[in-house]
Homo-oligomer: A and B are copies of this chain.
């Protein structure tokens, strides 16, 4: 940790910082430059609250030298982590595409969806039984029965299921219904009690990035889960909020190489929520795979225009199949497969 003093900081102020650092268990090291004094603090800075230092008289700012995250950091674990969901490996040489409808609607819809997912060559299925909707007057999901419908439809095709958990009180219900991968949605990326709760299970977790979460905050949210003992974490970028309003969100492809460098955990992309329109999905999906993503989370509906939610962003089964063919070509160029 480095403490940069204000340009006219007094000797007494410098001394005050030294004392405080020592009290925190860090060894201070003062360096006087031409215009400013800089104090290096040697020791484990992760236990230190930088605001307590910034509040001291004469301090201009505090710069951290260590990464604030540990378990999820690439520095602590050099090799790529592969998260195993039954037979399906996420984060290895094979790219995994998770597909399915935005919302679970009916047993028939789920049967048709599962057939489409399997036919396109995808190995996991997604679907929402509980939906986070901006309006309290919008369809909120079919609820617990939805988990059963999805379970049933997916079993026929041997597809593990991925679904979003919003309410911590439903965690046990999710586990009892055999949810294979728990998705933590964008709006809950910093719902710390929910993160702690899934951190105490062994179920793989897809952690979506918050709407305007920095990569550092996202890594720290994963650290919450990991600190509880659950290291089966998959990052999912799904577009962030910016000034642009020509599309719903802005897919942050740069996050892919950056995350692959900062963490050993798998990284997937949700091209459907990113753009918000089905016609954008193929371009975004190809970009994500080309940039090095380990997989995708894609919305597909047997009859998109009839979907009960997000009708405008779901691919049809045929579009999904065509997309998979393109992605296979790109994966091959990168020495991977789908």
Q: Chain A residues in contact with chain B, CB under 8 A?
A: 2, 4, 7, 29, 31, 33-36, 38, 40, 42-44, 46-47, 49, 51-52, 54-56, 63, 65-66, 68, 75, 132-139, 166-169, 187-188, 190-193, 196, 210-212, 214-217, 220, 223-224, 227, 239-247, 250-254, 256-258, 261, 274-275, 277-280, 283-284, 286-292, 304-305, 307-313, 326, 329-330, 332-334
Contact = CB atoms under 8 A, between A and B. Distances in A.
A287 B291 contact: yes
B34 A43 contact: yes
B290 A330 contact: yes
B135 A68 contact: yes
A139 B49 contact: yes
Secondary structure dominating the interface of A: mixed
Nearest to A239: B254
Number of copies: 4
A283 B256 contact: yes
A137 B47 contact: yes
B287 A220 contact: no
User: Looking at A54, A211, A244, A309, which has the most chain B CB atoms within 10 Å of its CB?
Assistant: A244
Contacts of A136: 192, 196, 220, 223-224, 227
A294 to B, nearest CB: 13
Contact of A305 (B4, B56, B66): B56
A214 B63 contact: no
B246 A243 contact: no
A275 B311 CA distance: 34
